[in-house]
């Protein structure tokens, strides 16, 4: 009987101890008010991939509009799963027209 009481008391203490640890607040971290790192030097030359970025960002809204138009058409037809995927793929290849 004494062994059972000791084990029960140990289990209760372990449970209470872990729940008490879980409720403690995390230590606050503070960021330094000022930075002492030097500023990055300004570059006068443009990166080599600048032209690539400009062309892709110019076509992104057009691609988004085509994709949305194809999704709307697929919704109107009530397509789901593989049929929807195939329809949208074909639609986007045709520029949003079926």
* pLDDT given at position 13: 74
Residue 77 counted as domain residue: yes
Tell me how far apart the alpha carbons of residues 89 and 36 are, in angstroms, rounded to a whole number: 53
pLDDT tens for residues 12-38?
877 776 655 555 566 666 665 555 655
In a domain, 28, yes or no: no
Residue 44, in any domain of the structure: no
**Which pLDDT score is estimated for 84?**
95
- The token duo for 21 is 């640890």
Residue 7 lies in a domain: no
In a domain, 52, yes or no: no
Q: What is the pLDDT of residues 31-69, one digit of tens each?
A: 655 556 556 555 555 555 555 555 555 568 888 999 999
Range of the domain at 89: 63-98
What's the CA gap between 33 and 36, in Å, rounded?
10
How many domains does the chain contain in total?
1
Q: Is 0.85 surpassed by the pTM of this model? A: no
């Amino acid at each position: 009987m004494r062994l059972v009481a000791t084990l029960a008391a140990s289990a209760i203490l372990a449970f209470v101890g872990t729940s008490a640890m879980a409720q403690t607040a995390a230590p606050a971290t503070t960021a330094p008010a000022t930075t002492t790192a030097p500023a990055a030097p300004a570059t006068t030359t443009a990166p080599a991939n600048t032209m690539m970025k400009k062309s892709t960002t110019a076509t992104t809204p057009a691609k988004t509009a085509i994709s949305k138009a194809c999704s709307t058409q697929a919704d109107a037809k009530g397509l789901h799963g593989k049929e929807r995927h195939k329809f949208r793929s074909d639609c986007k290849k045709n520029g949003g027209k079926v």
